[in-house]
Each structure stands twice: as C-alpha cells, then as structure tokens.
Structure 1
Amino acid sequence: MFRTVGDQPSLFESVLPQELLRLPAELERVDGLLDDPAFFAPFVPYFDPRIGRPSTPMETYLRLMFLKFRYRLGYESLCREVSDSFTWRRFCRIPLDGSVPHPTTLMKLTTRCGAAAVVGLNEALLAKATEAKVLRTTTLRADTTVVPSNVSYPTDSGLLAKAIRRIAVTGKRIQAAGGATRTTVRDRSRAAGKRAHSIGFKLRSRSAAGRDEALAAVRRTTGELADLAETAATDAERLLTNAKHALRRARAKATARKAQGEHDGAAGRRRGRLARAIDDLEDLVTATRQITAQTRQRLAGQTPDGATRRVSLHDPDARPIAKGRLGKPVEFGHKTQ
C-alpha cells in the first residue's frame, strides 16, 4: 500500500527546545523543496493505493536517498548514521520512538522503482527549478544524421504485397516442418502481385483527366490489397493455432521418448525449424495488421504517425525521417547524433 507521509511526531518532541528542532541551513532548504507532492508522483505506478502492507513513507525514502548520495554513504552506514543522529531523524521525518527502515528495505525499494522513477524525479525537479526561475531552460539544437536502412522505397501497396507473399512462404515452411499439414493455406501472392503491378501501370497516365481516374483506381486497388492482406493474416492466425498444437504434441512425444532412453536427432531438427517458422509467422502477422491499419488510415485521408509507422517488414525500427534535402526529402532509417 502506497504511503506518502509517515507518522506524526511523538508527544515528547513537542516539549523539546526549538534549538534542537531547528535543521541546518542546507537540510532546511532541501526539506522545504521535497515537501512538494510532485516528487511522489513517479512512485505511484509501483504501488497499490489500497491493498498490501504499508510501504515506507515516500517523504522518508526521498530524504534518506538525499543523505545517501550527498554524503556518499552505503545503505547500512546510512541507516546507522540516521539512527544515531537526532537532526537527521528530524530531516527524514522519523519520530524519536520510530524505527529507521532496514537497509534491505531501501535496497528493494530502489530496485523496484528503478531508473524510471529517477527520470520522473529529475523532470519534477527541473520543472520546479524553472518555475522558481532558478534555472533558465533554452532550446538545444543538435545536429543529427540519418543512417539509412536496407529497404526499398516503401509504398502501401508494395508493403502489402510483400506481406502477403511472405505469409504464403512462411506458411509453407511451417507445413514442410510438419506443423498443421491438414490446414488449407491459400497462396494469394499472384493476386497481390497483379494488383501491385497494375498500380504502376495506371500511374503512367500523363493527361490531367486520366491522372484523376488513375488516382481513384489506385486508391481502389490499394483497398483491395488491404482486404487481401487482412484475409491472409486471418488464415495465418488459424494456421498458427494448429501449428502450435502440433509443436506441443511433438515436444510431448519427444519428452516421452527421452524418458525411455530414445533420441531422434532428425525429429529435434524438425521441431526447431517448426518453432522458428512459427515465431517468424507471428511477427509477420503483427506487422501485416499494422501495415493494413496504416493503409486504411491513409485511404481515409489521414497521415499515420511517423514515430510508429511501419516502413519495412524485416526492419521494424526503421522510420520515415524528413531532413529537407532536395534530392531526398524523406529518408528511411534511424536518426543518430
């Protein structure tokens, strides 16, 4: 259960003189800064708000981590020093009659939240410093270049035709390896190739009227290719289901034969080929669904988001990058600094 603040100070602390309650100047400034609830937000995703054992209060954890890195202490040294120091106890919001968190508790909290929480804390700190005008932020201009991927110029029709062809080839690999041999797999490569080639033929028209008709025909043909790709992906999913059943049966049979002291190397190699083909087809179906969705989006008059757009079947991380060059206004690859 997520806790942001700890227990109230004990009654004994209320009768102590103010000289003992006063923090050093540095710790007092840090204490006031860490009172902002924005510093608790990065830890919220890692805890349930209502269920479970109460966590270490985040206000205590943050202050303990500040002392750890400020004075370069280990977890055990930190807990020992905080236990022996009245000032550090006050700073960490630990009552005099309360117990300091165990070193392993702090280690587990740090491992659980990880680097993402640190990034969130840094962003909250920068936002607070900018708001208080302690820090002036400016725009940084970085010189970047494009590392091109080994891909041909990606078009919606070309990607769809390649996806349909590769689904057919990978399906044959699965059946050749002994998976889903009785499942009917229709090869739609020829139909997809005809439609993809017809697009190039229609775009050769030079007249204005003919070009308008050609563009309408291209949109219609691209929609037909998207339909073919969706059908091929659906057939591939059915093939995958049956192939996985066959792979499980083959592995169970191999386990039983191994228990009897028998070993069949050829069958093991077939299982390996089948497992690799299944993995390839799963990735291919996911890519086909994504390409089909972005094609539908283009046909509806919308531009897909370049940060997530798929431009290659074999390089899922390649992206369209517009650098403004005259010869290559848009390049396809990876951006580096």
Structure 2
Amino acid sequence: MLKLREEQITLWDSIISESVWSLPEELAKIDALLDDERFMQPFLEKHHTRRGRPTKAIETFLRLMYLKRRYNFGYESLVQEVGDSLTWRRFCRIPIDEKMPDPTTLIKARQRYGEEWVEQLNELLLQKLDEAKVLKHRKLRTDTTVVESDVHHPTDATLLQDGVKVITRLVGKIRKVASEATRNFEDKNSEVKQHILSIAKLLRRRTQQSWDELNAITEQVVAMTEDVCQKSTAVMNLTKDKGKASVKAMKEKLGEAITLTQKLVDQAKQVVSGNRIIPDRIVSFFDPEARPIKKGKLSKSAEFGYKARIDETENGFVTGYELYKGNPSDDEMLVPAVVQHKERFGSVPRAVATDRGFGSKKNESTLAELGVTRISTPF
C-alpha cells in the first residue's frame, strides 16, 4: 500500500526547541518545493492498490534521494549520515526515536519505481519553475559530455578474462544442483590470469617485437576462452531445470554470458588480425552498452561510457538532457534538442548557441524553419 506522507506527530516535535529543528536555507527551500502535491503523481501511477503493508512514506523517500544525489552518497553512507544528523532527520521527516530505513529497502524502492519517475519529476519541476516565472527560456545553449561508466581500462585480454570469470562462477552454481552436467568443465581462471600478467610485463618494453608477442598471448587467451564457451554451452544443454525457476534462471544467465563472451572473442580476433577500427566496440563485460568516446581532451584520449546532451537556458537552468548509446555525431542532436524545448515550453527559443560540433548548413536552415531567429552554430 502506497503511503505518501507521515501524518502522525511525535512527542519530540513538541519538546525539542524549534531552533534545533530549523533547516538551513537550501534545505528549507527544497523542503517547501517538495511539499507540492504534484510530485506525488509519478508514485500514484505506479501503485494501483491499497492492499498490503504500507511503503516508506514517499515524502521521506524523495528527500533521502535528494540528499543522496546532492552529496553523492552511497545507500549505506546515506542512511548513516541522515541517522546521525537532527537537521537531516527533520528534512527527511524521520523522527528521532524512529529507526532509519535499511539501505536495501531504499535500493528495492529505487528499482521498483524505475527510471521513469526521475524523468517525470524533472518535467514537473520545470513546469513548476515555469509557472513561478523563475525560468527564462528564450535562449538555449546545448552541448555534450561523457558520462563515464565504472569500468576498468579495457583490453581484449582482460575483457575475455571477465567473461571466463563470470562463466566459471555460473557453472559453479549449476554444479551444486547438477554436478553430472558440469563433469567435463575445467576452471581456466588461473591460466588466463597468468597470461594477463605476462601481457603487463610486455607492455613496458614498447617495442614492435613486444606487440607481436602481445598478439600471440591474446590468441592463446582467445583459444582458452573459446574452449570455456564450448564446454559451458554443453553444461547449459545438459542441465535440466526440472521445473525449478532458480535453475532456469541460472541457465538463462549462463546463456547470456556465453553469448557476450563469444562477441568479445570475435572482437579480439579482429584486433589481432590488424583491424583496429571496430564499430560499436564493446569495452566492458559488465556494461556492454558502454562505448569508447573521444572528446579531444589532452588528459584522456578516450573515455568509456555514454554520450549525454545537456540543454541549458540563459539563466543557467538545465531544462533538457538525453543519454545516447554509442557515439552519435553532435550535429544529429541539435534539432531534437530544439524540438524537445518547443514541446516542453510551447515555443522555440529565439536564440540558439552551440559549439562547432553541432554546426552544419542543414541544421541552420532547419532551425530557421522552426522559428529560431538568432543562430550561433559555427562550422
């Protein structure tokens, strides 16, 4: 059952001095902003029943998520910091004598509500600011940046190592329920690790001979990985789930791991053969949608993650954003940004400014047709 607010007043509200409870200016403004009933709408749409145990109050969940994002906390550190602060407890509407929610409760709530509620809240916030005449949206500036994934620096051999590790771990779980099916499977983690360590020593020499030796070692890792994929496929085919959902889920995960590892094997073979330019190159086993993106930074020749478009108004508010898979060209993003701005505010901006990557004659003519009068897109 969805619980929106904590209506019950505690004894501490009347005993503790207001000076102790008072919120700092920033939190006071956020607190007043989140009291708007419209911010409850995304959660009401997610819950269609009044049955069951009450959820944690949504007003508390919202404020906890604000603090998490504002100070970049993890879930455990968030719970600890809020629990130790009278001010933050007051902001989150958590009484002094009430136990803090468990981090896993917040994680499950975040997963249950999905990503849509964040986008809906952003739209509602922009709507509220526009109604209050805080936003000025006659001018628009758009740019791109990279949202980096939390991955190790990718090499073909280490990506294959990740695949072997995951497959071996999943086969180990299957062995507990179907040992006969895993009889011919061998753990090659230690062999692959030895080859990875030898690669690190070779790279220090930086000679042509070392690169040839590197390719030879990568080929050996590829051969071992193919053997692991072949034998794990046999394990998956021999394992009978017998109607057990847990065994069926393990087989599905194993199948997904094998498929991804085989893609990494094909990718490594191309690199060893001399093809260094691979479209949609996978750079992480654990985040296969991440891509290498070059932004011309001297400190980083390439970043690994996702390209993000950010739209900003004349008074510094971010009014639009989009996260892209792969590495699309910047000039493909300008017109969608202006169209999104028009849909959100009912009119196109009078002025649009971008950097050189967005500039093209086609974009300028399209923006002029949409009604933009001042266009600054150098090319």
Tell me if both proteins adopt one fold, taking TM over 0.5 as the criterion: no
Quick check: which one's helix share is greater?
A: 1
> Quick check: which one's strand share is greater?
2
Structure index of larger Rg:
1
TM-score w.r.t. the length of structure 2 is: 0.36
